[in-house]
Every structure is written in structure tokens, then in C-alpha cells.
Structure 1
């Protein structure tokens, strides 16, 4: 835990200095030499992707929040029971797609300097905010869903580091029940829980520079910290495919190697909380559901070639009600639903291997969450 009495004011001044340097070369040199501002990172064309783009669709009015994760809005049924918000990484936008594939909400980048490469997206418990992580922009954000505004940022864009207010390739950003935000700071080999009200790190697991599996003191390149229903966290480590269940107090309840994984990405609990579902960020990719008490695989999707093959899938989640599997297939530029029983692709948004930002297209989608909060079905079919 870190304690700095004037931390919020100091971080704000650093962030303002970095943004001001965009139009002041002299100030830019000063910021670049300031250790508190971290190490400046060269921004490549790949990192800026398609730039500031939008689908161009006229969006419908946003319906009020009437549901929650435990009392969801009315379902659309198969193949996709709820609209999904997609982190469309190289389009630098969040976009919400209804089960009928209409675009109902969109948040394009307001400024590529401080919002670029959004790679994971997760709703708050009340459905009114969204937590977003940006690995190669080295920051995490909170977005007001209705106002479509950034309300909070931790990390300094284009600057990596391990000191106060700095991150190094953060993956995942989730709200916790108490309003704090958890993120997996991959290259610093740590999990951070941050209070947005104060910018203070209230919990840190792992130690920068000590990248080995020994939770919670050391972590081997964690890329997932998913909250479970009772408040425990499901921690994913890339090296050796370790998945661990850890309480908020830092007690490791179990820690096992995920079976059949090259590069585990963002493990989630199944709907009943008893098993684990995890994607293999590999080519060909794989989805595995396994029982952590036995490491026995209870369901698996693996196709070696053809339309059904996955190319570096980053997220797999069990859908409520249907039990089917929602998958983000990053390098195939698509998000899809796989039927639990037949293993057929029964729903897809994005054209396999075709990048774009017009309706029906994505560009390296990397994260997804379900909008169970709003009755978009009734709103669209009045």
C-alpha cells in the first residue's frame, strides 16, 4: 500500500503537463526528463489504428436502467440474449451491438492522445459507468455511459512506469462492489486496486521486477483480475497458465494451471461460479471450461482450420440463460456466439478477417461486456 498525502494534486499536475506538452516543445522536453512522468513511449501507426472513427449511424435514445446483474432486463433469447458493448481496439471506440445487429450506442475516441486502443470493457454494478483499459496507452479510464464522457483516468498516456500514477501495459479494468477499480498491470507483474475518489492504490498484489508465480506476493505477468460474485478475484497469469482464486484480503483459496493453454487470457467464472472459462490467445485459439478442483476439462472448443478456427481469442464468457459461449476473436475481427451443444457459430458481428468501422465491421475487437441493464428490445421495437 502506498501513502502520499498530496498524491491526487501531484498526479493531476503531471497529467496536465503531459497534455500541455502536445503544443509546447520546451515543456515536452521537461516532462520527458521528469522521472515522475515515467518513460515516454514511441507511438506507432499500429497503436493509433484507424484513428478517430465512428460508424456514422444515427443512434436511438438511451433507455433508462431497469435491470441489474441479478435481475436482468428482458432477454432477447437465442442466439444472443443481451446487447453487448465491444471494445473495438484499433477503431479506438466502444460500440454496443443489439442481438439484431443494430448499433445502439457508440463512444468514439474524443482525443487519440489520451484515449486510444481500448482493449477491455466492463460495466459498473449500476450499469451507468464503464471501466476501460488501454494496454499500449498505459492507462485505464472510467466512462459515463449516458453522457459519453471520460470521468476518470489512472496512468499517463504514452508513459510507462511503476511509480505512483503509472502503469505498464494494464489489462482489464473492473469495478468492485465498493466502487474501487481493479486492473492487471501486466509488465509490472502486479494487480492493483485503486480508489477513483483519491487515486490511491489501496491494494497491491505482486511486485514489479519479480515476475514469478507466488501469489499474492509475486505474479507471473497477470492479464486478468475478474471479480466473482462474493468479491473474490479470479487472477490469470500468462506464464505457465496459472489461474488463482484470491480473496480481497489476499488469501489464495486455490491456484491451478489451466489445461490445454498456451497463453491464457482473462479467465471468468462460469454462471454458477463453480468452474472457470478461459480463452487461449493463440492461433489456432481454444476455449476451455474446467473444474479447478480436478483440472478436468468439462467443455472445449478447438478448430484447427477453416471458418470455425479462432485467431488469438481474448475473451470467452458463458452467456446467462442459454449457456452458450460468447467469444471475442481478436485477429479475425469478430465477436461471436458458439452453441454449447453443437459447437456451431450461431451469431457473429464482424466479417472474418476484414477490418473496418462501418456498420457490420470491427477492427481488432479485444473486450466485451453484456448490457443487462437496459431494455433495448422494447426501446427499439416500440
Structure 2
């Protein structure tokens, strides 16, 4: 373990950091954007100073007014400095900046979670940027994934094939996307814009069985990095060999000692391979599925 936060003295008097969920590295590699889904807060942490430098949301109090969120998910800083996130129980997508007390951009209808983009979204749990400047939105209700732009134009929308609780879909290579299925046994699916499954990892027994995986992300060599939440591990899958090629954590055993994890629910490689860093680049195509 190379770095961990918070440690004694990192939080200012009155500050809290509870129930962290997903975390992404900022494009400049200097900060982390941590989403505290069940504490209704998004927090930016400066890696060098170990201090909170920005926060949106009211800790412990959900809502939809100024400085309020309701189960935000997958907050990520874009190259322009704004932070985009899915606001699950507010049924909307938001873009936030430090200078504004409310979203500078949003899509969806407050309190109306149904699949009818861009007017409504069915409990959106991911809004990931694409290299073309659009966004990939994952909707829990109905297992939908949509490609949209900031104006709300919908380019395509498909059911994630064979899933019941899709989580955090993102692009792994041009025109191909990956999503985790947050179930037990869980699965990972690579699919295209027609909704056709190109590759699937879904063992129902043995060491490969997943238990509520929540985030899968493509790596430059074509492998897939995955947090397997309830199995308390992070793994790398090789789709060409159809096997696990790396693991951190002890399967099914939660812990805090070196080599152990406890319900990991978010991950991101550090630059130059972090998601925000490579999203503007064309990913390599290291072979077929």
C-alpha cells in the first residue's frame, strides 16, 4: 500500500469522511475525486497536501437544492475542471464547478426515475465521458445504457445484454463497452451499440465467481480491471485467455492488513492510464474478443 487517506490530522475540525464509494484521479494527477454515495457528498482531496480542497453536497443530508445530492455516484473531473456525476435518487445527471452553488448542467427530471432520456433517467448510476465528448449513461431500471451529449441528444440506447443491475458502463475500445452486473453471481459483459454481447465473464462457481462486482474498466493491453465488491478483491481479467491474471485481496475475506480489502467499490489506475487521462484518446485494439 503506497498511500491511504485519511490519516490522523488530514481532516480539519468538523470535517468527516464516511462511506466512500468510487474514486477517480483528476486529469492532472494531483487530486482524487471521491464519491460518498450514502453520505450524499462529492469530495476532492489534494494528494500532496492531503487536504479536502473542494466539496459538493451536505454530509448526511440528502436533497436536490443548492449544495445537495441524493446518492451521487461515479463523480469524475473533466479536463475543463468541472465534475460530472450521476445523482441516482434525484434521477438526474449533474455537472458541478466550485464557483456555483448548484449544477451548471443537468439532465433528467427530479423525482421521476424512468427510462426516457434525456427527459428522464431510470436511476442513473454512471455517467462516463467518451473520447468524442459525449457521455455513456448507465440506468439501473431496465438495464439501459445510453450515449448522449450535453444538449441531451440521444445517439443510441440499448439494454445491457443478460444483466439485471448494470453498473458503470464505459468504453473499452471504439464502439465497444463494458459493464459490471451488480448481482451474485455477478458478471462482466462487453457489448456493442446494437446490444450484442461480445464477451462475458460469468462463472457460477469456483474462484472465478463474482459477488456484486460494481466497476469494470479497460486497461491499455485489452485486459479488464474489476472490483469484486462482496468478494473483497480487485482482479484483472484477460478476455483472450478467459482467466484471472492478477488479484489483490483474499477472496471472500475482508480485512485491513496488507494484501486485504474490505468491500472495494471503486478503482482507477493512476496517470497516464487513469480514466480521465485516456478518455480523450483512442484506445488500442489489441485483438478481437
Aligned to 2:180: 279
Aligned to 1:327: 226
Aligned to 2:248: 349
Deviation at 1:113, TM superposition (A): 6.0
Q: Decide which of 268, 276, 283 is 1:369's aligned counterpart.
A: 268
Using the size of structure 2 for normalisation, the TM-score is 0.89
Aligned residue pair count: 269
Q: Distance in 2 between matches of 1:143 and 1:314?
A: 23
4+ residue segments displaced more than 4 Å: 109-113
Q: Structure 1 unaligned segments of length 5 or more: list them.
A: 1-102, 375-382
Aligned to 1:105: 3
Give the helix-richer structure, 1 or 2. Answer: 1
Deviation at 1:114, TM superposition (A): 2.5
Q: Decide which of 357, 360, 379 is 2:259's aligned counterpart.
A: 360
User: 1:295-306 alignment to 2 at 5 Å?
Assistant: 295-306=195-206
Specify which structure has the bigger relative contact order, considering alpha-carbon pairs within 8 angstroms and separated by 6 or more residues.
1
CA contact under 8 A between 2:238 and 2:245: conserved in structure 1?
A: yes
User: 1:150-161 alignment to 2 at 5 Å?
Assistant: 150-161=52-63
**Secondary structure at 1:365's aligned position in 2?**
coil
Q: Structure 2 unaligned segments of length 5 or more: list them.
A: 274-289
Q: Provide the alpha-carbon RMSD of the alignment.
A: 1.5
Aligned to 1:163: 65
Q: Distance in 1 between matches of 2:79 and 2:272?
A: 16
CA contact under 8 A between 2:212 and 2:228: conserved in structure 1?
A: yes
Aligned to 2:135: 233
Q: Does 1:210 align with 2:210?
A: no
CA contact under 8 A between 1:228 and 1:273: conserved in structure 2?
A: no
Provide, for residues 134-188 of structure 1, a one-character-per-residue CA deviation record: whole Å limited to 9, x for no partner.
1111110111122221111111111111111111111110112211001111111
Q: Distance in 1 between matches of 2:102 and 2:81?
A: 13
Q: Distance in 2 between matches of 1:187 and 1:131?
A: 20
Q: Distance in 2 between matches of 1:176 and 1:317?
A: 17
Structure number with bigger Rg = 1
Deviation at 1:201, TM superposition (A): 1.1
CA contact under 8 A between 2:189 and 2:200: conserved in structure 1?
A: yes
**Secondary structure at 1:331's aligned position in 2?**
helix
CA contact under 8 A between 1:220 and 1:237: conserved in structure 2?
A: yes
